[in-house]
């Protein structure tokens, strides 16, 4: 009964999948199946070509690809590429394998993709752009835009690559990416250190009068270490974020309230 | 003049707020980031510099905040749009606008994000049904309808706030500037301090303990250099005012130069890691292949004897 498909995947198919992925991925995101219907939407034209319209095979394939799915949107087409390679070769028989592959790969790929494309790169590029922007310079925004177009290009070419290389691509990637991630996090930590020292313009306006001597507290602090106050405050917030039941949104509001109180008491002020 | 946002400005800002969420979900061009929101809202409102300052500050505040596994994140983009628009129209100080408008709006918008994601479940159910009916074009159509809950989750609140919030904000600014000076100062201090939260969140995601040496290095190097540069700048400006023959341009510390030093360390780390990896691969390959090689050699010998 096994019906092998005769359809050959062409460059046009890759382009169609890439277009659908680049412009429409995640539009159907919902709490029930997350990117589930998105996966189906991206693959649907190819599924129809592989299995033929109004066949029980196509219905089964559509149901398989409409299941829960969620991964990082910068790397998801790697899974689609591998899936396409298997399904175009093995046909309907392979759906169970493909299903397992999807759930098996979406976790690790989400971990790699999120750490690189959703946190590290936006943090570094965002820090550069914001650093220039607060001085009124929009050039950093342009750098970010260009960098993200390069990422779009990578997203475009990774689909045919995954189609050809299959699962070996993921294992091959992992080693090199680990080395790259480690080096990038080093740079990230270093840059955050530098940003703490430049972008938090806060100081201690407190002036003490002891007899005839006037002591400007900020001046004393600067003698120990310039930018000590911003450094200590970041350390304090870092500790705060590590506490149980603390969220970043809560921390932001706590900082606002504490800053208002400290400013009213004359301990902290805008530098 | 203050307090008024023209209807065309309201519409353009609303359109941008609807576009940015689509961009953020799909092509990720960076146009959905707060700095871009600052630039675009600033351009629409007629003060790009103020927009950049507000967008930059909110960008730094949410530096380490990302969406993982479909959780909603604080919507700093919409926060920037409203903070920029009201700050320019009502004449509010940029730092104050970040703390007083940007952050509260950004966190309130988490709720509409959740609502949008929830509404999309409706279209998901339709798709589930349409698969059984084998109606392919309807499946695709209903998938694409998902764009409406997403866009409206940003567009509606931004439009309503811009259209009806203007008077409220200009009254608030008046009160802040006259009777509540302490609160106004406090909000400005909070705005200046908010990037610290962004940096701390970011450090939570990074392996700080492993790279602690580089955190200290980056901080100390920059603290020293920036103080030095600022002092020289002050000196230069004062000298130029006193002596007419004194000429020279003084810039603030170059962050690119500081970053390049870090990059050098990162390149070293990468090379070290790759070498280490190749070594372990080689070692394990050697371990695995040795017995086989011996077997092959033995077989070879046997065949050789037979001949």
For residue B292, pLDDT over 60 is answered with: no
Give the C-alpha separation, B206 to A219, whole Å: 33
Q: What is the pLDDT of residue A175?
A: 73
- A140 and A264 in one domain? no
- A234 and A180 in one domain? no
For residue B300, pLDDT over 50 is answered with: no
Tens-digit pLDDT profile for residues B182-205: 888 898 899 889 889 888 988 888
- A164 and A108 in one domain? yes
- A159 and A230 in one domain? no
Q: How confident is the model at residue B286 (pLDDT cuts 50, 70, 90)?
A: confident
Give the C-alpha separation, A140 to A122, whole Å: 12
Chosen domain end from A195, A223, A254: A195
Chain A residues touching residue B28 (CB < 8 angstroms): 73-74, 117, 148, 151-152
Tens-digit pLDDT profile for residues A184-199: 889 889 988 998 998 8
Structure tokens at A45: 């034209």
- A245 and A164 in one domain? no
CA–CA distances in Å: residue B105 to residues B83, B88, B157, B162:
8, 17, 10, 12
Q: How confident is the model at residue B174 (pLDDT cuts 50, 70, 90)?
A: confident
Lowest mean pLDDT among A59-63, A69-73, B272-276: B272-276
- A20 and A52 in one domain? yes
Q: What is the pLDDT of residue B299?
A: 46
Q: What is the pLDDT of residue B161?
A: 94
Range list of β-strands (E), B1-65: none
Per-residue three-class SS string for chain A: CCCCCCCCCCHHHHHHHHHHHHHHCCCCCECCCECHHHHHHHHHHHHHHHHCCCCHHHHHHHHHHCCCECCCCCCHHHHHHHHHHHHHHHHHHHHHHHHHHHHHHHHHHHHHHHHHHHHHHHHHHHHHHHHHHCCCCCHHHHHHHHHHHHHHHHHHHHHHHHHHHCCHHHHHHHHHHHHHHHHHHHHHHHHHHHHHHHHCCEECCCEEEECCEEEEHHHHHHHHCCCHHHHHHHHHHHHHHCCCCCCHHHHHHHHHHHHHHHHHCCCCEEC
ipTM: 0.86
Chosen domain end from A177, A195, A213: A195
For residue A224, pLDDT over 50 is answered with: yes
For residue B76, pLDDT over 80 is answered with: yes
Nearest alpha carbon to residue B101 among B30, B8, B168: B168
Distance from CA of B300 to the nearest CA of A (A): 32
Indicate whether A125 belongs to any domain. Answer: yes
Q: Compare all CA atoms of chain A with the CA of B33 and give the residue at the minimum distance.
A: A126
Give the C-alpha separation, A148 to A117, whole Å: 10
What percent of chain B has a predicted confidence (pLDDT) above 90? 55
CA B201, B203, B209, B210 dihedral sign is positive
Angle at B225 between CA A218 and CA A192, to 5 degrees: 85
Structure tokens at B33: 């980031």
Chain B residues touching residue A249 (CB < 8 angstroms): 74, 107, 110
Whether residues B25 and A48 touch (CB distance < 8 A) is answered with no
Q: Compare all CA atoms of chain A with the CA of B107 and give the residue at the minimum distance.
A: A249
Structure tokens at B278: 């190749």
Lowest mean pLDDT among B30-39, B107-116, B244-253: B244-253
- A215 and A82 in one domain? no
- A159 and A30 in one domain? yes
Indicate whether A32 belongs to any domain. Answer: yes
Whether residues B103 and A252 touch (CB distance < 8 A) is answered with yes
CB atoms within 10 A of CB A17: 23
Structure tokens at A167: 């699962």
Chosen domain end from A195, A225, A256: A195
CA–CA distances in Å: residue A171 to residues A105, A151, A167, B289:
11, 21, 7, 20
Buried b (16+ CB within 10 A) or exposed e, B268-285: ebbeebbeeeeeeeeeee
Whether residues B199 and A256 touch (CB distance < 8 A) is answered with no
Number of domains in chain A: 2
- A101 and A185 in one domain? yes
Task: Judge contact between B85 and B70, C-beta under 8 A.
Answer: no
Whether residues B196 and A187 touch (CB distance < 8 A) is answered with no
For residue B305, pLDDT over 50 is answered with: no
Tell me how long chain B is: 307
Q: What is the mean pLDDT of chain A?
A: 89
Tens-digit pLDDT profile for residues A159-179: 999 999 887 777 777 777 788
Tens-digit pLDDT profile for residues B99-119: 999 999 998 898 899 999 999
Tens-digit pLDDT profile for residues A85-135: 999 988 999 999 899 889 888 988 888 888 788 878 888 889 889 989 998
Tens-digit pLDDT profile for residues B120-170: 999 999 999 999 999 999 999 999 999 999 999 999 999 999 999 888 888
Q: How confident is the model at residue B69 (pLDDT cuts 50, 70, 90)?
A: low
- A215 and A87 in one domain? no
Strand partners, A69: A34
For residue B1, pLDDT over 60 is answered with: no
pTM: 0.84
Among B206, B217, B220, B257, which would you mutate to test the A interface (most chain A Cβ atoms within 10 Å of its Cβ)? Answer: B206
Q: Which of A119, A125, A270 sits opposite B205 (nearest CB)?
A: A119
- A207 and A171 in one domain? no
Q: How confident is the model at residue B298 (pLDDT cuts 50, 70, 90)?
A: very low
Tens-digit pLDDT profile for residues A4-39: 567 889 999 999 999 999 999 999 999 899 999 999
**Between chain A and chain B, how many beta carbons pairs sit less than 8 Å apart?**
375
Chain A residues touching residue B273 (CB < 8 angstroms): 178-179, 182-183
Q: What is the pLDDT of residue A167?
A: 75
Give the C-alpha separation, B173 to B92, whole Å: 6
Structure tokens at B111: 């709720």
Q: What is the pLDDT of residue B290?
A: 61
- A163 and A248 in one domain? no
Give the C-alpha separation, A258 to B99, whole Å: 12
Nearest alpha carbon to residue A66 among A94, A34, A90, A88: A34
CB atoms within 10 A of CB A192: 28
For residue A1, pLDDT over 50 is answered with: no
Structure tokens at A211: 């007899």
Tens-digit pLDDT profile for residues A147-156: 999 999 999 9
Domain ranges across chain B: 7-205, 212-306
Whether residues A192 and B203 touch (CB distance < 8 A) is answered with yes
Chain A residues touching residue B139 (CB < 8 angstroms): 40-41, 44, 62
Structural domain containing residue A107: 11-195
- Which range, A42-56, B183-197, B230-244, B266-280, has the best average confidence (pLDDT)? A42-56
Q: What is the pLDDT of residue A2?
A: 47
Half-sphere CA count of B137, side-chain side, radius 13 A: 0
């Amino acid at each position: 009964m096994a019906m092998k498909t005769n359809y050959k995947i062409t460059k046009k198919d890759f382009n169609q999948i890439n277009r659908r992925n680049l412009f429409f991925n995640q539009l159907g995101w919902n709490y029930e199946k997350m990117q589930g219907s998105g996966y189906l939407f991206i693959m649907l034209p190819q599924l129809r070509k592989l299995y033929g319209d109004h066949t029980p095979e196509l219905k089964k394939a559509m149901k398989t690809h409409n299941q829960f799915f969620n991964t990082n949107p910068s790397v998801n087409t790697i899974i689609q590429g591998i899936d396409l390679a298997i399904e175009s070769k093995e046909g309907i028989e392979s759906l169970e394998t493909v299903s397992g592959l999807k759930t098996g790969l979406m976790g690790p790929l989400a971990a790699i993709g999120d750490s690189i494309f959703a946190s590290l790169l936006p943090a570094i590029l965002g820090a550069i752009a914001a650093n220039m922007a607060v001085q009124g310079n929009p050039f950093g925004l342009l750098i970010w835009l260009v960098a993200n177009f390069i990422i779009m290009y990578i997203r475009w070419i990774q689909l045919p690559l995954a189609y050809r290389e299959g699962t070996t691509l993921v294992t091959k990637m992992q080693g090199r990416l680990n080395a790259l991630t480690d080096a990038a996090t080093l740079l990230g930590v270093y840059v955050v250190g530098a940003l703490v020292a430049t972008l938090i313009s806060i100081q201690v306006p407190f002036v003490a009068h002891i007899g005839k001597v006037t002591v400007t507290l900020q001046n004393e602090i600067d003698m120990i270490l310039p930018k000590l106050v911003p450094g200590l405050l970041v350390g304090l917030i870092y500790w705060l974020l590590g506490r149980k039941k603390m969220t970043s949104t809560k921390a932001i509001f706590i900082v606002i309230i504490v800053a208002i109180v400290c400013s009213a008491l004359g301990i902290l002020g805008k530098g | 003049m203050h307090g008024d946002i023209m209807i065309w400005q309201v519409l353009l800002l609303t359109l941008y707020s609807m576009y940015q969420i689509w961009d953020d979900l799909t092509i990720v061009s960076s146009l959905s980031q707060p700095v871009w929101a600052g630039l675009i809202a600033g351009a629409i409102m007629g003060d790009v510099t103020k927009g950049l300052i507000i967008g930059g500050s909110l960008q730094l505040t949410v530096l380490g905040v990302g969406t993982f596994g479909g959780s909603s994140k604080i919507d700093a983009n919409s926060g920037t749009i409203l903070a920029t628009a009201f700050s320019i129209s009502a004449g509010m100080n940029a730092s104050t606008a970040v703390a007083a408008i940007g952050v509260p709006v950004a966190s309130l918008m988490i709720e509409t994000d959740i609502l949008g994601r929830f509404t999309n479940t409706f279209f998901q159910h339709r798709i589930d049904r349409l698969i059984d009916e084998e109606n392919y074009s309807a499946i695709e159509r209903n998938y694409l309808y998902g764009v409406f809950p997403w866009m409206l989750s940003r567009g509606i609140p931004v439009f309503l706030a811009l259209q009806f919030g203007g008077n409220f904000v200009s009254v608030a600014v008046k009160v802040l500037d006259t009777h509540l000076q302490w609160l106004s100062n406090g909000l400005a201090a909070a705005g200046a301090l908010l990037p610290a939260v962004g940096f701390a969140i970011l450090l939570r995601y990074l392996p700080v303990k492993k790279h602690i040496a580089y955190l200290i290095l980056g901080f100390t190097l920059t603290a020293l250099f920036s103080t030095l540069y600022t002092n020289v700048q002050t000196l230069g400006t004062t000298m130029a005012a006193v002596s007419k023959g004194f000429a020279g341009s003084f810039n603030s510390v170059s962050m690119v130069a500081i970053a390049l030093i870090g990059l050098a360390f990162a390149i070293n780390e990468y090379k070290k890691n790759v070498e280490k990896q190749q070594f372990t691969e080689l070692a394990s390959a050697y371990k695995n292949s040795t017995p086989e090689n011996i077997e092959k050699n033995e077989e070879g010998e046997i065949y050789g004897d037979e001949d």
